[in-house]
Amino acid sequence: MAKKKENNAPERKIPSSVLGLKAQVQEQLIVDTLEENFMPYAVSVIVSRAIPEIDGFKPSHRKLLYTMYKMGLLNGNRTKSANIVGTTMRLNPHGDAAIYDTMVRLSKGYEALLTPFVDGKGNFGKVYSRDMAWAAPRYTEAKLAPICAELFKEIDRDTVDFVDNYDGTMQEPTLLPTTFPNVLVSANTGIAVGMASNICGFNLTEVCQTAIALLEDPEHDIMQTLLAPDFPTGGELLYDLNDIEQVYKTGRGSIRLRAKWRYIKAENLIEIYELPYTTTAEAVLDKVAELIKTGKVREINDMRDETDLSGLKLAIDLKRGVDPEKLMARLFKMTPLMDSFPCNFNILIAGTPKVMGVREILDEWTAWRLECVRRRIYAELQRQKEKLHLLKGLGKILLDIDKAIEIIRNTEEEAEVVPNLMIGFGIDEVQAEYVAEIKLRNINREYILKRIQETEDLEKQIQDLEDTLKSKRRLKGIIVSELKTVIKKFGAPRKTEIVYADEIEEIEEDEGEEDYPVTLFMTRDGYFKKITPQSLRMSGEQKLKEGDRMVFTAEATNRAEILVFTDKQQVYKTRAADHPDSKASVLGVYLPAALGMDEGESIVSMVLPGKYTGSVVFFFENGKAARVAMNAYETKTNRRKLSGAYSDKSPLIAVLPLEEDAELAVESSDTRTLVFHSSLLAPKTTRNTQGVGVLSLKKQRTVVRAGLLADTPIKNISRYRVRAIPAAGALLKEEDTGEEQLGLF
């Protein structure tokens, strides 16, 4: 018997529409959704929007420039920018605002490129100004700059492929056949999905000279001709050989830039007239205003933007008696007047993104340009062969002009003229059509003899073109000739001055920070704390991330300098005063981010150099140790990072600062331990010295710990002490292990 419903409540029915909807809903794995929906979008952004190709352009740049070329704006007069934007939408349907923004960046007035491609009239804003808005497209005019002739040179001679536009109404080029390596000349930035590209510009003359040198000698050292990046906003590039080599070899790295300035003594003011490419005038003004407001800079009465039609000018009014050199040294450290350009040379090669060094980019461009020239010559060869074919048919007419006239006169129907000429003279349809189209006034012996004379010249030209196609040397010669022409027509001096970082004298300035005792802490994961004695006395247990532990503790002062050694053979110099006072109850500052470390770079050790006396000992996994004088890390410049801080031949295990000689202990993975005096290690002045053997290791054994003997629990010291190195050491006894592990920390 069915149970009676309580309260006689009516049975609820699910509407049929809901049932139908429920039937349509299907479960799908998230990985399938990503593959079917997200991946096509990501690929589209990478390939068709954000990453430049070997011609140096993104699709948006290429579509705009090609549209302007087809509008006749290479040699014609300027037209309204709104007209260009509207016409470009036939190729680029992403909205007029995006198209106009692209035009602005390519324009001469905006000053974002060393070789601008758009010759504009009107207000196009400035790359060094955040707030200076450009005029609307209805107010500005534009045409192509003269250098664009090198972008479209013989584009109609099959030099590049063409594809249909988005609606199939016209065709557009997949690449522009640039006669110079524009990919390195024009700065380019793009953010795709999961990757990005950031290419700095190089001087046009230097790039072309380097390309020529590589074509003539593949072993050419590119650093002899391609001195350093060049930026349209000028400024000074702080040249560091290691940084430049890294960028040239890997396509990644950082280039340091700083502003140019002059002191006007009569007015007691500083004029800043060139800025780093990566900053803006407003960013500098905001930062200086903040420093004045917080009292960190007291030497400035006023700072204002006096930029006008003559160019950028930021004026700083100084108080009486202020040393401008010292003030600018501080402003370089504390404001965007000195900044870094992060390089990421990510370029699409045959539809695939690839990060490349400068030489590899030039090799790719050369290979692509060779193909363009080869296709151009082949197209010209086919055209000349077709012309020769027609003239050979005309030559047969010379044998009997009267016969040709008679054939045409006696042919009743027009459609039969060509077939009758083919039969009468043994020529093909193309030749017969050519003969039939000759004007009556040209049917004379003089005209025909002149045309036949061309035959010999054409045969020579065809032979020369065929020889060129077979000779890679001649093809390279054509590219070299074109590059020399570009240098002659469009070459210009560098805008960014090269200043060698090692030659810059660091000005001793009064320390603005208050000096007081602090205790420094650092964890294994790279978290840093600076705690005052008063705060430390009131603190409880140190807060750490789960799984993290404290590896460095030292008493110091607020003005103390700190050297941070990483696993990438680099050392970063910072000061305790650069970081805020902290408490035990917080995690602290994450040093890799605060110091701007490279991606994947980890901290190995922290050292307080003091007055840069004494030495520092590096212990390596392969059993070697290197002792380097501490003053090898003392820089006379304001550099905050040194490459080649130690040898890269073996992983680093420990870094030990020594003010004076002491006994050291080393332990291997099989618990063999060695105690020796540091005087056995001779100090070296070369930072990346490989060191000398200390602990003789068996196969597949490594050094795992090293430190001062005084910091270890070893009791039977004589068991492990040696008078000469390298030595095998002795197995560590249990009574010498203590409660703590042997090590620095």
- The CA distance from 414 to 408, in Å, is 9
- The CA distance from 539 to 445, in Å, is 111
- The CA distance from 261 to 271, in Å, is 5
- The CA distance from 306 to 467, in Å, is 62
Residue 182 · residue 53 · CB < 8 Å: no
Helix (H) or strand (E) holding 317: strand 314-318
Residue 674 · residue 696 · CB < 8 Å: no
139 is catalytic: yes
- The CA distance from 650 to 543, in Å, is 34
State both tokens at 635: 């820089």
Residue 143 · residue 73 · CB < 8 Å: yes
- The CA distance from 254 to 343, in Å, is 6
Residue 609 · residue 600 · CB < 8 Å: no
- CB proximity list for 380: less than 8 A, separation 6 or greater: 157, 465
- CB proximity list for 31: less than 8 A, separation 6 or greater: none
- The CA distance from 375 to 177, in Å, is 11
**Residue 525 exposure: Cα atoms within 13 Å on the Cβ side:** 12
Q: Which of 196, 152, 194, 188 is nearest to 173 (CA)?
A: 152
- The CA distance from 448 to 431, in Å, is 14
Q: Which of 712, 702, 612 is nearest to 663 (CA)?
A: 712
Give the phi and the psi of residue 551 in degrees, each rounded to 5: -120, -10
- The CA distance from 527 to 535, in Å, is 18
- CB proximity list for 281: less than 8 A, separation 6 or greater: 128, 129, 130, 275, 305, 307, 312, 314
- The CA distance from 342 to 120, in Å, is 30
- CB proximity list for 710: less than 8 A, separation 6 or greater: 662, 663
- The CA distance from 61 to 76, in Å, is 20
- CB proximity list for 403: less than 8 A, separation 6 or greater: 424, 425
CA distances from 112 to 53, 103, 201 (A): 19, 11, 10
Neighbours of 607 (CB within 10 A): 19
Strand segments, DSSP code E, in 524-671 are 527-531, 550-557, 561-566, 570-575, 589-590, 603-607, 615-620, 624-629, 641-643, 652-658, 663-668
Q: What is the DSSP letter of 270?
A: E
Q: What is the DSSP letter of 278?
A: T
Q: Which of 69, 100, 139, 434 is catalytic?
A: 139
Return the sign of the alpha-carbon dihedral for residues 99, 105, 110, 114.
negative
Instruction: Provide long-range contacts, Cβ within 8 A and 24+ apart, for 146-150.
Output: 146/119, 146/489, 146/490, 147/115, 147/117, 147/489, 147/490, 148/65, 148/68, 148/69, 148/74, 148/117, 149/74, 150/178, 150/179, 150/180, 150/482, 150/486, 150/490
User: Quick check: bond before 177 cis, omega within 30?
Assistant: no
Which residues are catalytic, by number?
139
